[in-house]
Structure 1
C-alpha cells in the first residue's frame, strides 16, 4: 500500500509505554486475598444480565421482550476483530459482510447495508458505509467496552436506517460518571501470523481529586500486510468459467489486502450531584486495499484498445468527530433527561493505482434528546426526539451518486408495564425524511417521505425457568440517495449501478415468538420470526453485460423473510475444580420475492454523451440476492484458576438458494481456539497473555454475501498473540 497513507505510529508507541510498566509490575508476587476483588472486569460475566445502553429504559438483555445480544468483558476480548461486522459475527442471527479485511458490516437476520444502523454510544457513526459495500464503518471495536445487537426493527429508537436492526458500540469516550479509581485503564499489544499484524491500543479514564471532572483518552494503531490464503485468490468456479489455468505464483497470498488504521479520542466531563455535561473529539483514519478491484477503462473511440488500470484500488478514509453530551436527573415529572449531539466530517478517497479516482465527502450533524418520565397510568416510558442532516458529495469522473443534502427528524415514545407474570412493551415513532439532490447531475427530482413505526412486545414468565416472548412490529424505511439516484460505474463492485428516482418507502411487518429456559447450569433460547415486506428495495442483476461490467438496478417488490435461531449452553465442573461450558448455536434465514410472473423494467445505461436504453422482464418471485447461509456451531470453554481456553467450530452451509444470475457458494467450516493466562499483582493491577487461533483447518472459505467472493477468500490459518494490561 502506498506510503503516502501511513501516518506516524504514535498510538502504538503510547500503548507500549503504558503496557510495559504494568507488565513489569505484574511479575511481582500477588496478594491472593485481595487481588480477586480488585479485578471484577476479569470475572465471568453473565451477558444476559448486563444493562443494555441502547434503550433509554433501563433493562438487561434478559429483561427486555425484544431480542438483544450483548458482548462485554472477556467474551468481547476474544471476539474483537478488525471490523465491527467480524466482531459480532458469531452471535446467533448475526453475520458479517466482507469486502476485504478492511470492510465488514453487520448482517442481522439477513439484513445489512441501509437497513442496519451502526451506532457509537447511541448516535450514528457518521460514515457513509451504506453508500457502497467498499466503505468501512468508522467504529473501532478494539476500543469498545460493550457491544449491543438489537435484532429485529429498531426504528422506534433510531429511525428509518434501523428497520433490520442496530449495533450499538459503547466506548465511553465521553464519561457520564466518576471512575471507580482516580486513574484506571487498559492496554493491549498483539500480532498475527496470517497477515503480519501489529496492533497496539490503550485507554485511560480518571477523575480529578475533587471529583468534579472526569477525563478519557484512548488511542489505537493497527498495521497488517497482505494475508495468507489456503489456495488461489480466484475461485475454481471462476477460473473454469473464464478458461484460466491457476498460476502457482499467485497461490497462498491475497494481493492488496493490507490494512492500516489509527484511531484516538479525548473526552472531558463535569459530573455534579444531579447530572453531567461532557465534550469529546475523536479521529478515525484507515487505509486498506480492495482485493481484485483493479478495473479497465474503456476508450469510447471505436476500435481503441482497452487501457488497463495502473494499479489496484486502495481506499483512504479520514473522519473527525466532535460530540457533546449532557444529562439531568429528578426533573419533577421526569426521572431523567439525556441529550447528545455529534458533528462528523468524513472523507473517503479511492486511489486507482497512483491516481486519485473518486472522493466521497460527507458532513453530518445528529442530535438526540430523551426524557424518561415517571409512571403514567402504570407505564414507565420515555419520549424522545432525534434529528440529523447530511451533506454528501462524490467527486470524480466515476462518481456514480450525485451530491445531495438529507434531513431527518423523528419523534418517538416507548414504554413498558408489568402485569403479574407478563411484561408488555409498546412504542410508536413518526419520521420525516427529505433528500435534496443536485438537479444538474441527478436523474430525478428531490424527494420527501413521511414514515411511521409501531411496535408491541410481550414477555411471559411462565415460571422461574420458562419464559416466552412475542413481538409484532410495523416499520417503514425511506429510500436512500444511493438507491434513488445512482447512475454509472461503481468501481468497487465493477458494475453499472442504476437508481430508481420513483421508489416508495418500504414497509416491514414482523412477527416473532421466542422461548427461553434455564435450570441450574442449563440455558436454552430459540426464536422463530417472519417478516413480510411491502415494496422491498433491492439491487437486481439484469443479466446485461456492459463494457464496464454487469448492469444492476435498484428496484422494489414485495418480499418475505423467514428465519430461526437457537442457542444452548451447559456449565459444569469436574472433580479437579475446573469450570467447563458447552455452547451450541444455529441460525438460518430465507429471503424471497413474494410475487409471481414477471414485470417490465426499463432503464438507461449512461456512456459519456449518450446512453443505451433497455427493457427487460424481471421475475417477481424467487430468491433475493446475497442472503447469508445457514450455520451451526459450537464451542467448549474451560477455566481453572488463572487459565482459560476454548475450542470451537462453525459450519456454514452451502448457499444454493440464489437469485437469477447469482452463483451458489460452497459451504465451509471455520475452527478456532483461544488460550489465556491471567495474573493479578500486589499493586492492584493485572495482565494477561493470550493466543488465539483462527481457521485452524486452513480451509478455503468464501463469503456468499460478498461481491468479492470469487476473488477474495477469507484468511487461512492464523495465530494472534499478545498481552493485555489492566490497571
Structure 2
C-alpha cells in the first residue's frame, strides 16, 4: 500500500465504521440541520447565537444573514469566504483556493471578526493575505453573518462585521437519539478533489453525558483554468522585461491543497445547564499561486501533484505553506439564576504555527498563541428592558522568525466590558448598547521600530425596528464604533513575500472611528420575501494600505496610513416561490449589492518613508492623494437563481455577474467583469431504519470564464478555477 493511501486510511476507516451504525439509529428532529431533519430550513427563523439576546434572523433588530441546513450544504466550499460569498453584501478575498476571508460590505481583514461560536478563531489570517482562516466550513452546523459594526459584542476587530461559525463541538444539550450523525464523500473534476467527512454525536444512557466527534480530510491537485495564469497585461509586461516568458496555460501551479481537521468534545448536561470541553486540530498545506513560473517546474501527474519525499512534503516547487493549529476550549452555561435568566462562560486557548517553504527550504515561521475568555449574563427585564452584560478578555503572543519576517514579534492584550438591551414600545422595538475596551500592544524589544502603544476604544449603538404591519417592517441603525490599529498596521517593516511588496507600518497611528447610518425595509408575505438596505459609514482616521508608487529593488512599496473616508452602499434580495403544485415547488431568488469607498478629503499629503535595506534604510517621500477611491474594494454584483424541489429531488441553476471594477485607487488597475454560472442537483432517499442517503452533483463556473477577483492581491497571476463538476454522497443517521 502506498504512503499516500496510508495517510487516508484513518478517515476512511472512520467513515466506513459509521455507515453500519446508521442501521441502528432512528429518524429524529435536529434544528441545526446536521442530523435527521431533511426538510428545507426556514433560514429566517433559525436562532442566531452570535448575540446573547435570543432572536432569529427574521426578528433581530440588527441585519444578519444565516446559512444552515440544505442551504449551507449547497454553499459549503474549501474556504469560509467562498462559503458565504453569495449572501447579499458579502464577498470573499482570494489568495488561491486555500485562502478566502469574508468581506462584508467592502470591509475585510482586521475589520471583520471570524468567530467559532462566539470566540475568536485564534489564527493570524488578518496579518497577511496568504494566511488562511483556521475554521473548516464543511464541519459547520450554522454560519451567521453580522452586517455592520459588531464591536459592541466582539470588540475592535469587528468594526466591519462578524462571521460566527457554529460547529457543535461542545454539546449543550442531549441528542434526541443515543447515537446520530452524518458522513460524506465527495470528489471534483477541476482539481481532482477527494474529500471525506464524518460526524458522530451521542448521549449516554443516563442522558447526562454527551459526546461529539468529527473528522475531515481533503486533498486536491492544482486546479484547471480556462486560459493562462497571468493576465494579458501582466504577461505583456514580462515579455517586455525579459524578452520571453513561458506561459502556463490550462492549470494554476501552486494551487493544490491538503487539509485535515478533527475534534473531540464531551459535556455533562443537566436540567439547568451544561459544562463541557473540546480539543481540536486543523492542519492545512497549500501553495501560493503566482510564485512559480513555467509548467516544467511542477513534476507529477496531469492534475499538478508534485513529487513528494518520504515524509510527504513537497520537495520542489514555489512557495508552499504548512499551517497547524491546536485548540482547547471550555464552556459552561446555567439558566434560571434569579435576577439573571442565564450565564454563559467561554474559554479557549489556541496554538498556531504557519510555516512558509520556499523551494523546499523553510523561509519564515509565524507562531501565534491566543487565549480568550468571555462571560455573558442575560438579566431579567428592568423597567421593561431585557439586556445582557458581558466581559471579554484576550491575549495574543505573536512571533515571526525568518529573513522575510516583515512583522516583528508582539504581545497584544484586550479587555472589554459591554451592555446591550432592548425594549418594545407598541409596534416598535429599540436596541441600545455600549462597550469600552482597553488595548495594549507591546513590541519585541530586539526589533522595536516604535514605542509600545495603548488604546482606549468606546462604541455606542442604537437601532430601531418598526413593524408597520404583520408583513412589513422598517429598520434603522446608528453606530459609533472604534478600532485600535493592529500590530501589523503599526510595525510592519520589510518584504512581504506573499503580496510581492515592501510593507511599512506607522507606529504613530490613532484610533479609527466609524459613524454608521442604515435604513432597511423587509416585506414577507406568504411565498414572497424581499429585503433591501442602504447605508453610509463615515470614518475618521481610516487605516488602509496605500500603494506609494515607489519601487525598491523591483518591489512596490506600500504603506499603512490614515485618512478620513466614507463608504456608501446598498443591497437587496428577493425570494419568491411562484409555483407550488404537482410539478413541484419552483422558487426564484434575485440579489444585488454595491459599495463605493472613497477618501474624504482634497489635495495631497507628503509621507516620509524609511525602507529597510540590509543594515540601513533608504529614505523616500511619498505623495499620497487625500481623495479618490480606496484600493481593492469589492465590485458591484447582481445574481439570480432558479430552484426546484419535488419529492426526493431538488435542483437549482444560478448565475452571478461581477461588474467591472474601475473605481480604483491611485496606482491600481481596473478589473474586468465576469459571470459565474453554477448548478446543483440532489436526490434524497429515506430508508426503513429511519436513516437517509443523498446523492448530489454540483457544477461551478459552467461557462468556463476567466475570473479575476478585484479584492485579490493575486488577481493578475491567479484566476479562479475553470469549469468544474463535484459529486458525492451524504449519509444521515
Q: TM-score range by the shorter chain?
A: over 0.9
Q: CA deviation at 1:377?
A: 1.1
Which residue does 1:88 correspond to in 2?
84
| Residues 574, 432 of structure 1: alpha-carbon distance in 2 compared, 3 angstrom cutoff | closer
CA distance in structure 1 between the partners assigned to 2:182 and 2:244 by the alignment = 47
Tell me, yes or no, if structure 1 residue 393 matches structure 2 residue 399.
yes
Which residue does 2:58 correspond to in 1?
62
Q: Are the aligned partners of 2:22 and 2:732 in contact in 1 as well (CA < 8 Å)?
A: no
Q: Which runs of 5+ in 1 are unaligned?
A: 32-36, 296-308
CA distance in structure 2 between the partners assigned to 1:39 and 1:391 by the alignment = 38
CA distance in structure 1 between the partners assigned to 2:10 and 2:45 by the alignment = 34
| Residues 340, 396 of structure 1: alpha-carbon distance in 2 compared, 3 angstrom cutoff | same
Q: TM-score, normalised by structure 2?
A: 0.94
Q: CA deviation at 1:19?
A: 5.6
Q: Are the aligned partners of 1:22 and 1:685 in contact in 2 as well (CA < 8 Å)?
A: no
Which residue does 1:665 correspond to in 2?
671
String of CA shifts for 1:411-434, please: whole Å, max 9, x gaps.
000011111100111110000000
Q: Are the aligned partners of 2:677 and 2:703 in contact in 1 as well (CA < 8 Å)?
A: yes
Tell me, yes or no, if structure 1 residue 462 matches structure 2 residue 460.
no
Aligned with 1:229: secondary structure?
Answer: strand
Which residue does 1:9 correspond to in 2?
8
Q: CA deviation at 1:310?
A: 7.4
Equivalent of residue 195 in structure 1, options 187, 191, 195: 191
| Residues 194, 23 of structure 1: alpha-carbon distance in 2 compared, 3 angstrom cutoff | farther
Q: TM-score, normalised by structure 1?
A: 0.94
CA distance in structure 2 between the partners assigned to 1:319 and 1:456 by the alignment = 38
CA distance in structure 2 between the partners assigned to 1:7 and 1:100 by the alignment = 27
Alignment of 1:40-189 (within 5 A): 41-189=37-185
Q: CA deviation at 1:519?
A: 1.6
CA distance in structure 1 between the partners assigned to 2:63 and 2:661 by the alignment = 26
String of CA shifts for 1:9-33, please: whole Å, max 9, x gaps.
255314531464478999xxx99xx
Which residue does 2:321 correspond to in 1?
315
Which residue does 2:444 correspond to in 1?
438
Q: CA deviation at 1:438?
A: 1.1
Q: CA deviation at 1:610?
A: 1.5
Q: Are the aligned partners of 1:294 and 1:352 in contact in 2 as well (CA < 8 Å)?
A: no
Which residue does 1:230 correspond to in 2?
226
CA distance in structure 2 between the partners assigned to 1:239 and 1:404 by the alignment = 39
| Residues 88, 677 of structure 1: alpha-carbon distance in 2 compared, 3 angstrom cutoff | same
Tell me, yes or no, if structure 1 residue 713 matches structure 2 residue 709.
no
Q: CA deviation at 1:357?
A: 0.3
Alignment of 1:199-598 (within 5 A): 199-243=195-239, 250-294=248-292, 311-598=317-604
Q: CA deviation at 1:242?
A: 3.1
Which residue does 2:301 correspond to in 1?
none
Aligned with 2:627: secondary structure?
Answer: strand
Aligned with 1:41: secondary structure?
Answer: coil
Q: Are the aligned partners of 1:92 and 1:566 in contact in 2 as well (CA < 8 Å)?
A: yes
Aligned with 1:596: secondary structure?
Answer: coil
| Residues 5, 379 of structure 1: alpha-carbon distance in 2 compared, 3 angstrom cutoff | farther
Aligned-residue Cα RMSD (Å) equals 2.1
Q: Are the aligned partners of 2:351 and 2:370 in contact in 1 as well (CA < 8 Å)?
A: yes
CA distance in structure 2 between the partners assigned to 1:23 and 1:258 by the alignment = 34
Which residue does 1:635 correspond to in 2?
641
| Residues 38, 415 of structure 1: alpha-carbon distance in 2 compared, 3 angstrom cutoff | closer
Q: Are the aligned partners of 1:19 and 1:725 in contact in 2 as well (CA < 8 Å)?
A: no
Q: CA deviation at 1:681?
A: 0.7
Q: CA deviation at 1:5?
A: 11
CA distance in structure 1 between the partners assigned to 2:200 and 2:21 by the alignment = 13
Which region of structure 1 is more displaced relative to structure 2, 46-55 or 232-241?
232-241
Aligned with 2:195: secondary structure?
Answer: strand
Which residue does 1:626 correspond to in 2?
632
String of CA shifts for 1:328-358, please: whole Å, max 9, x gaps.
1111100110001000000000000111000
Q: CA deviation at 1:466?
A: 1.2
Q: Are the aligned partners of 1:489 and 1:548 in contact in 2 as well (CA < 8 Å)?
A: no
CA distance in structure 2 between the partners assigned to 1:597 and 1:513 by the alignment = 32
Q: Are the aligned partners of 1:270 and 1:277 in contact in 2 as well (CA < 8 Å)?
A: yes
CA distance in structure 2 between the partners assigned to 1:293 and 1:433 by the alignment = 37
| Residues 152, 428 of structure 1: alpha-carbon distance in 2 compared, 3 angstrom cutoff | same
Q: CA deviation at 1:548?
A: 4.7
CA distance in structure 2 between the partners assigned to 1:477 and 1:228 by the alignment = 40
CA distance in structure 2 between the partners assigned to 1:526 and 1:272 by the alignment = 43
| Residues 47, 170 of structure 1: alpha-carbon distance in 2 compared, 3 angstrom cutoff | same
Q: Are the aligned partners of 1:539 and 1:554 in contact in 2 as well (CA < 8 Å)?
A: yes
Q: CA deviation at 1:248?
A: 8.1
Tell me, yes or no, if structure 1 residue 652 matches structure 2 residue 658.
yes
Q: Are the aligned partners of 2:34 and 2:141 in contact in 1 as well (CA < 8 Å)?
A: no
Q: Are the aligned partners of 1:5 and 1:287 in contact in 2 as well (CA < 8 Å)?
A: no
Q: CA deviation at 1:246?
A: 9.1
CA distance in structure 1 between the partners assigned to 2:559 and 2:35 by the alignment = 54
CA distance in structure 2 between the partners assigned to 1:10 and 1:358 by the alignment = 32
Q: Are the aligned partners of 1:38 and 1:684 in contact in 2 as well (CA < 8 Å)?
A: no
Q: Are the aligned partners of 2:590 and 2:639 in contact in 1 as well (CA < 8 Å)?
A: yes
String of CA shifts for 1:413-469, please: whole Å, max 9, x gaps.
001111110011111000000001012212100000000000000000000121100
| Residues 601, 146 of structure 1: alpha-carbon distance in 2 compared, 3 angstrom cutoff | same
| Residues 249, 607 of structure 1: alpha-carbon distance in 2 compared, 3 angstrom cutoff | closer
Which region of structure 1 is more displaced relative to structure 2, 572-581 or 234-243?
572-581
String of CA shifts for 1:492-523, please: whole Å, max 9, x gaps.
00100000000001000000000011222111
String of CA shifts for 1:247-288, please: whole Å, max 9, x gaps.
786210000100000000000000112111101100000000
Which region of structure 1 is more displaced relative to structure 2, 641-650 or 576-585?
576-585
String of CA shifts for 1:472-502, please: whole Å, max 9, x gaps.
0000000000000000000100100000000
CA distance in structure 1 between the partners assigned to 2:63 and 2:5 by the alignment = 41
Aligned with 2:251: secondary structure?
Answer: coil
| Residues 38, 362 of structure 1: alpha-carbon distance in 2 compared, 3 angstrom cutoff | closer
Which region of structure 1 is more displaced relative to structure 2, 570-579 or 657-666?
570-579
Which residue does 2:303 correspond to in 1?
none
Q: CA deviation at 1:176?
A: 0.6
CA distance in structure 2 between the partners assigned to 1:393 and 1:402 by the alignment = 7
| Residues 410, 574 of structure 1: alpha-carbon distance in 2 compared, 3 angstrom cutoff | closer
Equivalent of residue 722 in structure 1, options 720, 724, 728: 728
| Residues 413, 204 of structure 1: alpha-carbon distance in 2 compared, 3 angstrom cutoff | same
Number of residue pairs aligned between Structure 1 and Structure 2? 705
Q: Are the aligned partners of 2:550 and 2:622 in contact in 1 as well (CA < 8 Å)?
A: no
Q: Are the aligned partners of 1:11 and 1:221 in contact in 2 as well (CA < 8 Å)?
A: no
| Residues 12, 548 of structure 1: alpha-carbon distance in 2 compared, 3 angstrom cutoff | farther
Q: Are the aligned partners of 2:172 and 2:274 in contact in 1 as well (CA < 8 Å)?
A: yes
Aligned with 2:498: secondary structure?
Answer: helix
Aligned with 1:350: secondary structure?
Answer: strand
Q: Are the aligned partners of 1:343 and 1:363 in contact in 2 as well (CA < 8 Å)?
A: yes
